[in-house]
């Protein structure tokens, strides 16, 4: 009787292992995830000319730091960076992380289809602990 129980358990474990070993691509995050979605219409209404301006004018709960010459240097969530000790909110354009914020000042705002800001668990689940303050996802009209 114990042998039968073991065989059943092993077959259940084998089925679980087969299911758990599959490779799945990262899913596209739906708009309903925690955070904010800013549409192309809202960006157009903000009269922003660059992606950096679009972020500054539409993402309400983030601070956008600039150098004395006006170049973009940092982005962090208001009130959270000192608590979490995370330096900046990561920014992605069409699933590629932007390392040089100056690039955002060179790209036109009219190319943006939407901006999605994920916060909390949804940000860290998909983008790791560096997204503890949140993550900004920019999707362009020609991107995937």
CA distances, 27 to each of 40, 94, 95 (Å):
22, 13, 11
Distance CA 63, CA 48 (A): 17
The CATH H-level superfamily of 29-140 is: TonB-dependent receptor, plug domain (2.170.130.10)
Q: Quote the pLDDT of residue 83.
A: 55
Which has the minimum average pLDDT: 11-15, 88-92, 124-128, 132-136? 11-15
Mean pLDDT within 11-38:
54
- Give the tens place of pLDDT for each residue, 66-117: 888 888 777 877 665 555 555 688 899 999 999 889 899 999 999 999 999 9
Q: With beta carbons less than 8 A apart as the criterion, state whether 142 and 111 touch.
A: yes
Contact 49, 109 (CB under 8 A): yes
Is this model's pTM higher than 0.75 or not?
A: no
pLDDT value, residue 41: 95
Tell me what pLDDT residue 27 has.
52
Judge whether 134 and 118 are in contact, CB under 8 Å: yes
In 91-104, which positions are buried (b, 16+ CB within 10 angstroms) versus exposed (e)? bbbeeeebeebeeb
Least confident range from 8-17, 29-38, 67-76: namely 8-17
Average pLDDT taken over every residue of the chain: 76
How do the domains of the chain map onto residue ranges?
Answer: 29-140
């Amino acid at each position: 009787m114990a042998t039968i129980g073991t065989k059943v358990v092993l077959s259940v474990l084998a089925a679980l292992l087969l299911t758990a070993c599959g490779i799945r691509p990262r899913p596209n995050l739906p708009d309903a995830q925690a955070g904010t979605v800013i549409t192309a219409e809202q960006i157009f209404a903000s009269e922003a000319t660059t992606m950096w301006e679009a972020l500054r004018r539409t993402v309400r709960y983030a601070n956008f730091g600039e150098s004395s010459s006006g170049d973009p240097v940092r982005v962090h969530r208001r009130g959270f960076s000192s608590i979490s000790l995370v330096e900046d909110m990561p920014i992605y354009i069409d699933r590629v992380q932007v390392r040089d914020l100056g690039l955002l000042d060179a790209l036109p705002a009219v190319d943006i289809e939407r901006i999605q800001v994920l916060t909390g668990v949804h940000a860290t689940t998909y983008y790791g602990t560096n997204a503890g303050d949140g993550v900004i996802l920019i999707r362009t009209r020609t991107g995937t």
